[in-house]
Amino acid sequence: MNISTFSVKRPVFTFVTMLLVIILGGVSLTNIPLKLIPDINPPVGVIVTNYPGASPEEVSEKVTKPLEESLSTLPGIQNIRSTSQEGSNFILMEFSWTTSIDDVQDEITQRINQTPIPDGSNLPRFLKFDPSQFPVIQLSLSTSSEDKSINQIAETLELELTRVPGVASVNLSGTVEEEIVIELDQEALEDNGLGQQDITNVLQASNISQPGDTVLTEDKQLTTRVVSLLTSVEDVRKLVVGQSPQTGEDVLIDDVAQVNKKERDISSITRANEKDSVLISVLQQSDANTANVSREFQTKLNELLDREEYQDVQADILFDQGDYITQSISNIATSLVLGGIFAMLVLFFFLRNVRSPLIIGVAIPYSVIVTFVLMYFSDFALNIMTLGALALGIGMLVDNAIVVIENIYRHLQMGKDSKTAAIDGAKEIGTAITASTLTTVAVFVPVLFVSGLIGELFTEFALTISFSLLASLVVALTVIPMLAAKFLKKVPGNQEARRRRSKALRFLENSIRWTLHHRMMVTILTLALLGGSIFALSKVGTEFLPATDEGFFTVRVDLEAGTNLQETDRVVKSIEKVLENQEEIDVYVSLIGSTQENSARGSVSTNIAEISVKLAPLAEREKSVFEVVDELQSKIKREAKKENESAEVSVNLQTAAGSSPQTLTFDVRDTSKERLDSSIEKLEKELADVDGVTEFSTDRSNTIDEISIEINTEKAREVGLLPAQLAQVVNDATRGALTTQIQETNGEVYNVYVQYDRDVTSTMEGLENLSIKTPTNSFIKLNELATIEVAEGPVELRRINREEAVQFELRYSPSLSLSEISSRVDAAIEKAALPSESTIAFGGDRELLENSINDMILAVVLAIILVYIVMAAQFESFKYPFVIMFTVPLMIIGVSLGLYVTSTPISITAIIGVIVLAGIVVNNAIVIVDYINQLKDRGESSLDAIVTAVKDRARPIFMTALTTILGLLPLSLGIGEGTELNQPMAITVIGGLISSTLLTLYIIPMVYSWFDPQTRRMKN
């Protein structure tokens, strides 16, 4: 007794099993997390070192290069990129995708510890990539009230919002902290024989809380603590720092300095829609559900803002990954539902029977529920890849069910009763649909072996489709026959005989017979179509992954090194005026004096700024983010240049997968700086003339004016000072010294800084006249001990793989594909005739595509081989699977036509579509060839068996093709957020299915006739 017969004869058992799976599926679905894309953990690590006061050259020579030397031989290391700037360095290590950072973390730490680091430097810190360290929500807070401080409001809200379930931390940027500043009066210090270090020493010695040893008293052992704490600004002012040389009276800090509580000097400015604001970044816990965190956070935020004390506070959501995830998944889920409805309509159209579509209506959700159970136990998330797999699979999902129910219905039309028709129909087609399902599943096996970013993205996709197909096979062989036996009724008369005599089937029979008698002509026409389609494919271009419209972009502003914060702010304000008039823009947040990346590292630079721009939802705007950016770029650059000629403005987009669309990047490296500079100049000249490049920029380091203080060691030694002592005095005087911390009675903690009056240290003249206290308590001017002059120095030094390097970033027109712009840039590089020592390495999408394309081609070839092997095992023959494989080239005709007509470049998702097709297109041929063999076994001649098989199987073939095509139609139109990534895959599958379905009905019978001894020598 086979599984179908068992299901028909034991309907209660089948039903309760079905009910159990539905319950499991419901529980699984509620516990599957929602995410945007599968978790991607790129094998990268970062080393950060702070070396206070060191120049970029010092950092590079003493810290960066020794670390590079130690790390360059790590197992699996591919690239080491380093940036050395004043006071710090940043080293990015890229490993091969087969390397786990966790496996090499101990060795990295060991190598760092073995590297000699100068005394003045902090120890290097190793950080590995962690997706949970990227914010899932960003918003700005501003207030229209002048009575309330937005900083205090933000800090209060931060405490409340951190309690939201799933939130790991809430970070604020743009807040201004208060501190206690002691501004020294240089003349008063000199009159009293004091220096900055004396004030610092007294403060540190007067603000202590130090434990002592235990003391035994009255049979108790008590701990001791010596306490002398400063608790207010007044305490600091009244602190005695010495005696006056003239009068012998106590000298208070108040006598030689001004002590005030004040806001820290502003090094960066944050604004939202031109209002002063605070930027809030929300990080989620690593195991949290992004969509749930987003919903809970926004609910809590709205509750808080509804309170009376926050009535004047406005919150603007800049970025919410949870919202985008929910919209994307909702759009793909809609495509999935529409696909199911289309499948039911197709069934009704062909069978003209209401009950058959209803049975399919039960089969679709049941197959999806089974898939959810398998996804849950495989620890998958619902994201645009797994839901895209279900949307792609929805048409394929019903294929097995349609073939079974159509065959059962055909047996009913022969006059059989419901139970017999269900058993005979399922049994007759069981082998064919098992073979076709296994061949489709087989094509995804090679995808599991693809490494790198593509492997991370598409592994869950491949397994989800495989789960859904296996689920649909089980449903088609169990639930469908059981339901058909219960609900489909015996058809009066022999309607099958009438159907065979219909005009459509007579036309099909005549055309098949004509094809079999004109095989050479049909072959030549097919080869011509194939040749034309290959030519068309060469014209569509290539790209890595399709760009996704997330309605978000950033504007980066770079001014001449050394530009002050006020000038940078002026340029940003001119850009904000342009953004204000763009109706598609919802909110924009300006960060002046830093970028979000630099802010995370804790570094600021007054000559840079970043504006984050969020557009209105896609449904509420007519233009895509790409059109908005194209329209704004020239306006923004023009306005920025009007304000400051040195302003360099770039607009940056990012896709869901993390790549930048319409961007080509490459590095130029050389061991010689002079040769590298020459190569850069040649390339800049050639790239300026490349057609289609809208802008290009380099990260070539500029120089910055700096004040050079060269110590006269002999004069310093004469007054009893060493160069290091003098350098420390100047450092403390110009930067200010963080001396101690004071905790007031209300619990607030303030840092205490000791610094000179800014009039002394903010000008060249003031610095020259800085009084230096000598060991003999005399004073001498700095310009008497050192030569002070303005000199040039580099802003930062960049290296890649221990060579000097410069990165080029090109933006190109959206009308060009990655392959087209790459060929033009390659020609420009060749024309530049660079020396052989200067090497070029491409990055970004081009590097990812080049690294992935070989794996993907191998996956396609392996998929085709596996399909053949599975069919050979099923048919116990090498000949018939070979006949079936002739359907594979037929799909190329439709694929090329679909991509060419829709102007869709060949991308990784399109290639995944081809892999899917390799498993789908053979299904129709399997059904035909299997039925031909069955008819021949019943005694029919080969010619009649071929013609009859095509006639009998044409209806299910058209039905399954149409359900898959219509199921993918919503996805192929790319409507709504999040569908762009799967759109090329849908177009590819639809095009390939159309051509292979139509041609399979003619080409497979023709090829079969060549292999069959009876029809091999058949003549016209």
- Strand ranges (DSSP E) for 303-405? 313-320
Q: Give per-residue pLDDT as tens, 565-621.
A: 888 888 889 998 888 888 888 888 888 887 766 655 555 678 888 888 888 887 788
Statement: residue 384 has pLDDT above 80: no
Whole-number pLDDT of residue 66: 92
Average pLDDT, whole number, for the chain? 82
In tens, the pLDDT along 765-784 reads 888 888 888 888 888 888 88
User: Which residues in 5-44 are b (16+ Cβ under 10 Å) and which e?
Assistant: bbbbeeeeebeeebeebeebbeebeeebebbbbbeeeebb
State the Cα–Cα distance between residues 284 and 291, nearest whole angstrom. 11
**SS3 readout for 269-302:** EEEECCEECEEEEEEECCCCCHHHHHHHHHHHHH
Q: Give the whole-angstrom CA distance, residue 937 versus residue 946.
A: 13
Compute the average pLDDT of residues 562-567: 82
* Sole residue written with tokens 């008369």: 493
Q: Using an 8 Å Cβ cutoff, are 174 and 270 in contact?
A: yes
Q: What is the pLDDT of residue 496?
A: 53
Instruction: Kindly list the distances between the CA atom of residue 510 and the CA atoms of 507, 517, 891, in Å, as whole numbers in the listed order.
Output: 5, 11, 24
Contact 353, 495 (CB under 8 A): no
Least confident of 384-388, 430-434, 459-463, 824-828: 384-388
The CA angle 996-1000-1003, to the nearest 5 degrees, is 120
pTM of the model as a whole? 0.72
Q: Secondary structure of the chain: what % helix, strand, coil (to 5)?
A: 55, 20, 25
The CATH class of 133-177+267-324 is alpha beta
What's the length of the chain?
A: 1020
Q: What is the phi/psi pair of residue 611, to 5°?
A: -115, 120
Contact 889, 534 (CB under 8 A): no
- Interatomic CA distance for residues 824 and 810, integer angstroms: 12
Q: What is the mean pLDDT of residues 714-720?
A: 85
- Confidence (pLDDT) at 596: 66
| Cα–Cα dist 488/833, whole Å | 76
CA distance 256 to 236: 12
Residue 660 has pLDDT above 80, yes or no: no
Which of the four pLDDT bands, split at 50, 70 and 90, describes residue 977? low
> Tens digits of per-residue pLDDT, 878-889?
888 888 888 888
Predicted pLDDT of residue 426: 86
- Rama region for 122: left / alpha / beta (φ>0; ψ in -120 to 50; rest): beta
Beta strands 796-800 and 77-85 are antiparallel
Query: What does the pLDDT read at residue 703?
Result: 66
Cα separation, 121 vs 53, in Å, equals 9
Sheet arrangement for strand 178-184: 257-263, 178-184, 749-756, 737-743
Phi-psi region of 565 (alpha: psi -120 to 50; beta: other; left: phi over 0): alpha
Percent of the chain with pLDDT over 70: 93
Does residue 1020 surpass a pLDDT of 60? no
- Using the CB atoms, write b or e for 754-792: b if 16+ within 10 Å: bbbeeebbeeeebbeebbbbbeeeebbebeebbebeeee
Please, where in the chain does CATH 1.20.1640.10 lie? Answer: 1-31+353-439+449-488, 502-539+877-1019
744 three-state secondary structure: coil
Hey, what's the torsion of the CAs at 167, 169, 172, 173, to 10 degrees?
-110
Question: Would you place residue 957 in the very low, low, confident or very high pLDDT band (cuts 50, 70, 90)?
Answer: confident
In order, the DSSP letters of 941-978 are: -HHHHHHHHHHHHHHHHHHHHHHHHHHHHHHHTT-STT
Provide the CATH topology of domain 44-129: Alpha-Beta Plaits (3.30.70)
Range 685-713 average pLDDT:
78
What spatial distance separates the first Cα and last Cα of the chain, rounded to whole Å?
46
Residue, of 350 and 146, whose pLDDT is higher: 350
Q: What is the mean pLDDT of residues 518-542?
A: 87
Class of domain 502-539+877-1019: mainly alpha
Q: Which CATH architecture has domain 178-263+704-794?
A: 2-Layer Sandwich (3.30)
For residue 361 the two structure tokens come to 């209506």
pLDDT of 599 reads 59
As a whole number, mean pLDDT of residues 964-969 equals 80
- Name the band, by pLDDT with cuts 50, 70 and 90, for residue 622: confident
**Whose CA is closest to 199, among 241, 234, 229?**
241
Residue 658 backbone zone (phi > 0: left; psi -120 to 50: alpha; other: beta) = left
Q: Which long-range contacts (CB under 8 A, 24 or more apart) does 73-78 make?
A: 74/104, 74/107, 74/108, 74/111, 75/99, 75/104, 75/107, 76/43, 76/104
- Tokens representing 896? 């090329």
Q: Where are the alpha helices (DSSP H) in 488-540?
A: 495-500, 503-517, 519-537
Which of 547, 545, 544, 540 lies closest to 849 in space, CA to CA?
Answer: 544
Name the burial class of residue 146, with classes exposed (0-12), middle (13-18) and buried (19+) by CB atoms within 10 angstroms of its CB.
Answer: exposed
CA distance 930 to 937: 11
Is the CATH code 1.10.620.20 the one for domain 1-31+353-439+449-488? Answer: no
Q: What pLDDT score was predicted for residue 896?
A: 92
Helix axis angle, 321-351 to 942-972, nearest 10°: 150
DSSP label of 418: H
The upper half-sphere exposure of residue 899, i.e. CA atoms within 13 Å in the direction of its Cβ, equals 32
pLDDT digits (tens, 9 = 90+) for 136-171: 888 888 887 766 677 778 878 888 888 888 888 887
pLDDT above 90 coverage of the chain, percent:
2
- C-alpha 474/C-alpha 494 separation (Å) is 30
Looking at the chain, the domain(s) classified CATH 3.30.2090.10 span 178-263+704-794
d(CA 792, CA 829): 32
Among candidate residues 388, 488, 484, 351, the one with its CA nearest the CA of residue 427: 484
- 775, 634 contact by CB (below 8 A): no
Residue 126: phi and psi, rounded to 5, are -100, 130
Phi-psi region of 128 (alpha: psi -120 to 50; beta: other; left: phi over 0): beta
pLDDT per residue over 16-67, tens digit each? 888 888 888 888 888 888 777 777 778 888 998 888 777 788 888 899 999 9
Q: Would you say 301 and 315 are in contact if contact means Cβ atoms under 8 Å apart?
A: yes
Q: Report strand pairing: 749-756 vs 178-184.
A: parallel
* Rounded CA separation 94/76 (Å): 9
Grouping H, G, I as helix, E, B as strand and the rest as coil, residue 898 is: helix
Does residue 361 have a pLDDT over 70? Answer: yes
The contacts of residue 546 (CB under 8 Å, 6+ apart) are 655, 907, 909, 980, 981, 983, 984
pLDDT at 658: 57
Beta-ladder partners of 750: 742
Span(s) in the chain for CATH 3.30.70.1320: 133-177+267-324
Highest mean pLDDT among 282-286, 610-614, 1015-1019: 610-614
**Residue 974 above 80 pLDDT?**
no
CATH 3.30.70.1430 domain extents, the chain? 44-129
d(CA 4, CA 478): 5
How far is the CA of 679 from the CAs of 535, 766, 801, 804, 940, in angstroms?
37, 43, 18, 12, 76
